């Protein structure tokens, strides 16, 4: 089985799990293109050591960038920038480096991390 994302105007609107020959007989009238995606691909890496496919596993609401041949998740915060290698959104401010790093949350209004 493989995963396929239906892309309409650059936006993923559906993801299906099916055999590749499923599309040979699919009769569908709704617009969009089906593009294969890999459940094991995240940030340009394949979790099982295989070849990564399109930078990230597609999800509904992700975009598909034809030029990069990559699925890109939605931008969580306006201040984040796209990492060209991973096609993930990243913060330019480093997370505090202490033993409680998981106890911080990003504050977009102050562009800093807050302790929680």
* Cβ count within 10 A of residue 4: 19
Provide the pLDDT for residue 93. Answer: 92
Same domain for 46 and 5?
A: yes
Provide the pLDDT for residue 95. Answer: 86
Among candidates 72, 67, 114, 111, which has minimal Cα distance to 92? 111
Residue predicted with more confidence, 12 or 21:
12
Place of tokens 């509904």: 60
pTM for the model stands at 0.87
Same domain for 31 and 83?
A: no
Place of tokens 């993801």: 15
Same domain for 68 and 88?
A: no
| pLDDT single digits (tens) 55-106 | 999 999 999 999 999 999 999 999 999 999 999 999 989 888 877 767 898 9
Give me the mean pLDDT over the 3-17 stretch.
97
Q: Which residues pair with 37 in a beta bridge?
A: 3
Domain assignment of residue 11, given as a range: 1-74
Provide the pLDDT for residue 101. Answer: 63
Mean pLDDT in the chain? 93
Work out the percent of the chain whose per-residue pLDDT is above 70.
98
Same domain for 66 and 19?
A: yes
Q: Which residues pair with 114 in a beta bridge?
A: 105
């Amino acid at each position: 089985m493989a995963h396929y994302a239906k892309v309409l105007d650059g936006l993923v609107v559906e993801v299906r799990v099916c055999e590749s020959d499923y599309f040979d007989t699919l009769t569908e009238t709704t617009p969009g293109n089906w593009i294969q995606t890999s459940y094991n691909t995240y940030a340009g890496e394949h979790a099982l050591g295989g070849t990564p496919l399109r930078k990230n596993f597609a999800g509904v609401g992700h975009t598909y960038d034809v030029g990069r041949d990559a699925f890109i998740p939605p931008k969580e915060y306006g201040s984040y920038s796209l990492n060209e290698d991973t096609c993930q959104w990243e913060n330019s401010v480093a997370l505090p480096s202490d033993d409680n790093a998981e106890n911080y949350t990003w504050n977009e209004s102050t562009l800093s991390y807050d302790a929680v």
